[in-house]
Chain A
Amino acid sequence: MTRVLATLKMALRALRRNKLRTILTMLGMIIGVAAVIAMVGIGNGAKSQVEAQIASLGQNVILVFSGSISRTGVRSGWGGAPTLTVEDAEAIQREVPSVTVISPEVRSYTQTAAGNENWYTQVLGESADYFTIRQWPIVDGASFTEQDVRSANKVAVVGQTVAQTLYPGEDPVGQIIRIKNAPFIIVGVLYSKGLSVFGQDQDDVVIIPYTSAMKRLFGTANPRVINVQAASPALLLPAQEQITQLLRQRHRIAPDHDDDFTVRNQQEIADAATATSKTMTWLLASIACVSLVVGGIGIMNIMLVSVTERTREIGIRMAVGARGNDILLQFLTEAVTLSVIGGAVGIGLGLGVSKLISAKMHWPTLTPVIWIGAAFAVSAAVGIFFGFYPARKASRLDPIDALRYE
């Protein structure tokens, strides 16, 4: 123990002797480690935000998209064909026991107006249960009711962005909003959800009963998507299976034909979205790792210079009885001390940069503790790896030659 301590003391003293050089060498490590930590922080922050947003889709949500059609070999995307009907939605609600609530959805971008203001926004036609499925609370007023849906009443719930744009400084509840010139009464204002996974403003929305949207605005009888909520996470897969069976039966699809609809659950959507941000994190981290290698090469370079400069010292130490291993350990300790201190400062700097970014740019950053530990371990490893060759070179010197070295 005292031996390790003495070697460490010796290394620290040698490093203090050439402060500027030591700091410059450490800078390579500091920048490398700080870059890794900051990049991982940003990447993970993005990932956690994606996950949070996926969760904001609602709980145990299954989405049924109307089908892709294939005509003369050309396939359109999901929703390309009007294969789903309101009756399909009702059948799902009625016949699949693990389903709690559903909401057939139609959507369109259209011009809205109130008083002198007007705004181009997304209009969603949904059922009254949509707010339950999305877990989207109403902060002012109330949701429209099932009665409103049945009667296709001209009522609307608006998002925060729409509320603030069309009714600046006013309470929108009870006011009239004209959608494609049809007047709707605003009954509620939604809680602010912020940006979606794909960067859309989720609050830039007007939600009306799907019946009203179909009959009075868009003139369609086919929902693009059916939002379905399963009773529990465990029931997601059985529900998906049952919905698929039910719809195939209703659409009379022969066993050897493909579905004309697509059923996806929330987890699958989440996986796709987080895969992207995960790839991003790895990409950023691996670029940052390159700078770590550069830092390591800097250490190796300086250690080689140091061994040459201190050849005489090595000779003296050998003459008074230092074994090759003692010399090896001494120089290796110096290299590792360089890299570990550099790594520690780099971790601090990286965390600081992450904090700064999340404060200034309003990006969330998140650095898992395991990455901090890993960064520390990697910097020690860099020191050992790049310090070994110079240290071994020092330990193999011939004492007589080393003593005579000028």
Chain B
Amino acid sequence: MNAVIDLREIHKTYHTGDVDVHAVRGVSLGIQKGEFVAIMGASGSGKSTLMNIIGCLDRPTQGHYLLDGTDVSELDRDELADIRNQKIGFVFQGFNLLSRTSALENVELPMLYVQRRPHGREQREMSLRALEIVGLADRADHHPNQLSGGQQQRVAIARALVNQPALLLADEPTGNLDSQTSIEIMGVFQKLNESGITIVMVTHELDIAHYTKRMVVMRDGRIVSDTLVEKRLKAQDELAALREAQQAVQLAP
């Protein structure tokens, strides 16, 4: 129907030497427009492999993957690159910003590879707007080494948003951040989700998963549970509570 992601019996097998590694063994998953899904699991559970397939960085060895209605499991390298460019925004654990390049230019990066490129000025405006959404418009000309971890992750989110993708994919987006910054980033995601963007996030932190709407748990390459999040946390409330606690011990003004 309105599924952004429609995975049908996805298998992924790696050949390392003589041994075949079944990283994903028959995963079927549908994610509708406007959902906010956390994929969880221990390391080796196949969640990263699944994420790479969802992100069109990798192709399944078996099964079909319909992204926004098109079957992408049979596309070649160039076509996958175009899909990544147009339909998917990536946020990584390690931020993956280009060093010695300003925040604005980092955000402009995906637009360099649009087949019909917008003009320079239009590009700037779109990038600035994306930075505004994540609240970093005033840091547009800072380089990554002049930004804190949380700010760098916001730049990465702005970069993921700039081509207005149908899907935002985040791979352990809070893995390198402290707890308060993690909640801030989750706040950004919640805000984006409320504005209608579909988000799929891989995490191994249960408390972070509680900011999402749906939890999918994987083990040994299979989905073992798929539940809606009942006691959903709101980043705004959590941040307020945290600030109160900090004020109590005079950590914050």
Which of A's residues lie within 8 Å of B, judged by CB?
2-3, 6, 17, 312-313, 315-326, 399-400, 403
Contact = CB atoms under 8 A, between A and B. Distances in A.
A308 B81 CA distance: 21
Contacts of A324: 77-78, 81
Contacts of A403: 57, 92, 96
Contacts of A320: 84-85, 90, 109-110, 113, 159
8 smallest A-B Cβ distances: which pairs?
A321-B85, A320-B110, A321-B113, A323-B81, A321-B84, A322-B113, A323-B78, A316-B96
B220 interface: no
A343 B99 CA distance: 30
Nearest to B162: A320
Contacts, number: 60
Contacts of B163: 321
Contacts of B120: 2
B231 interface: no
B86 interface: yes
Contacts of B100: 17
A400 B110 contact: no
A403 B119 CA distance: 29
B21 interface: no
| Chain A contact surface mostly | helix
A400 B171 CA distance: 13
B117 interface: yes
Interface in B92-122: 92, 96-98, 100, 109-110, 112-114, 117, 119-120
Nearest to B101: A13
B131 to A, nearest CB: 16
Nearest to A324: B77
Given A2-B119, A320-B159, A312 B96 contact: yes
A320 B163 CA distance: 10
Contacts of B90: 319-320
Contact of A316 (B55, B58, B98): B98
A317 B78 contact: no
Query: Chain B interface residue count: which class?
Result: 20 to 34
B148 interface: no
A400 B58 contact: yes
Contact of A313 (B55, B85, B98, B114): B98
Nearest to B159: A320
B52 interface: yes
A321 B86 contact: yes
A322 B81 contact: yes
B82 interface: yes
22 contacts: A3-B117, A316-B97, A317-B113, A318-B84, A319-B55, A319-B57, A319-B84, A320-B85, A320-B90, A320-B113, A321-B81, A321-B82, A321-B110, A321-B113, A321-B114, A322-B81, A322-B85, A322-B113, A324-B78, A324-B81, A326-B113, A403-B96
Given A316-B96, A320-B90, A403-B92, A2 B84 contact: no
A399 B109 contact: no
B155 to A, nearest CB: 12
A313 B95 CA distance: 12
Contacts of B98: 313, 316
A319 B52 CA distance: 10
Contacts of A2: 117, 119-120
B96 A323 contact: no
B117 A323 contact: no
Contacts of A313: 98
A323 B84 CA distance: 10
B165 to A, nearest CB: 10
A325 B112 CA distance: 13
A310 B121 CA distance: 28
Contacts of A399: 57
A324 B98 CA distance: 18
A321 B113 CA distance: 6
B82 A323 contact: yes
B117 to A, nearest CB: 7
Contacts of A316: 96-98, 109
A74 to B, nearest CB: 79
Contacts of B92: 403
Interface string B21-56: 000000000000000000000000000000010010
A131 B52 CA distance: 92
A325 B163 CA distance: 20
Nearest to B96: A316
B96 A400 contact: no
A320 B161 CA distance: 11
Contacts of B112: 6, 322, 326
A15 to B, nearest CB: 13
Contacts of B97: 316
Nearest to B97: A316
Contact of A400 (B57, B85, B109, B114): B57
Given A6-B112, A399-B57, 14 more contacts: A2-B120, A313-B98, A315-B96, A316-B109, A318-B84, A319-B96, A320-B84, A320-B90, A320-B109, A320-B110, A321-B110, A322-B85, A323-B113, A324-B81
Nearest to B89: A320
B114 to A, nearest CB: 8
Contacts of B114: 321
A313 B112 CA distance: 14
B137 to A, nearest CB: 21
A2 B118 CA distance: 10
